[in-house]
Chains A and B, each alone.
Chain A
Amino acid sequence: GAGVSQSPRYKVAKRGQDVALRCDPISGHVSLFWYQQALGQGPEFLTYFQNEAQLDKSGLPSDRFFAERPEGSVSTLKIQRTQQEDSAVYLCASSPGLAVYNEQFFGPGTRLTVL
């Protein structure tokens, strides 16, 4: 595909369940980002990968959040023991370069609702 894809597009979880959100970046893009977008808010940074290395996870809200990109391509964001405050749209973005001036290309997001 030409763009960043994310799956599933919608996820409903019961409180306490574990969820896994997938991101397929644009082929060849070295940088991959996860953002969390709460209702009525702008995206907030969660974590950053450069190839397979997770260089920054300072935005992850708690140790229930875990992200990986084992082969430097597809990435998975996992949330354990989901809570209602985890309800948000989770956005993935990829970029061809390492610096902030390289355009980040965003996927359509996964809307997570925790009941």
Chain B
Amino acid sequence: AQSVTQPDIHITVSEGASLELRCNYSYGATPYLFWYVQSPGQGLQLLLKYFSGDTLVQGIKGFEAEFKRSQSSFNLRKPSVHWSDAAEYFCAVGFSNDYKLSFGAGTTVTVRA
């Protein structure tokens, strides 16, 4: 079955430390890949997306993600987290012949002082 997996349910990181969130997908073709962030009471906000080309993509708020075809992964990274990065993060995939997104279960990030 096609799926998007986010192996880490919850991550706690110290302010100023680096962050990496994992995302794996199992599809036959390379999908379009997205990372969204959801803060409490807010809608999902797009952080970045990958369609083709350079496998390292830059997004908003200092986030970046790297697509690795051999590992079917699209991990999200930030070199130095801020307390405001505490939120839930979702990886999503889509396909060129479709319009809807399929989301992973999400990773909750807690930032400690």
Q: Are A42 and B42 in contact (CB under 8 A)?
A: no
Instruction: State which of A100, A103, A106 has its C-beta within 8 Å of the C-beta of B100.
Output: A100
Q: Which listed residue (B41, B49, B99, B106) contacts A108, Cβ 8 A? A: B41
The stretch that binds A, out of B13-21, B71-79, B88-96, is B88-96
Residues on A lying within 8 angstroms of B by beta carbon are 3-4, 31, 33, 35, 40-45, 48, 56, 59, 91, 93, 95, 98-101, 103-109
Total A-B residue pairs with C-beta atoms closer than 8 Å?
65
B44 touches A99 (CB 8 A): no
1/0 contact trace for B40-73 toward A, CB 8 Å?
Answer: 0111111001010000000000000000000000
With the chains together, A33 CA to B96 CA distance in Å?
Answer: 17
Chain B: minimal CB distance from A24 (Å): 13
Residues B103 and A43 in contact, CB atoms below 8 Å apart: yes
Interface of A: prevailing SS: loop
Total interface residues in chain B, CB < 8 Å: 25
A42-B90, A42-B103, A42-B106 known; A103+B46 contact, CB < 8 A: yes
* CB of B105 closer than 8 Å to a CB of A: yes
Sample 20 A-B pairs with CB under 8 A, ordered by A number: A33-B100, A40-B106, A41-B105, A42-B4, A42-B92, A42-B105, A43-B44, A43-B101, A43-B103, A44-B103, A45-B102, A91-B43, A100-B32, A100-B96, A100-B101, A101-B32, A101-B49, A103-B49, A106-B36, A108-B43
Chain A: minimal CB distance from B88 (Å): 9
* Cross-chain contact A41 with B49 (CB below 8 angstroms): no
B44 near A106 with CB under 8 A, answer yes
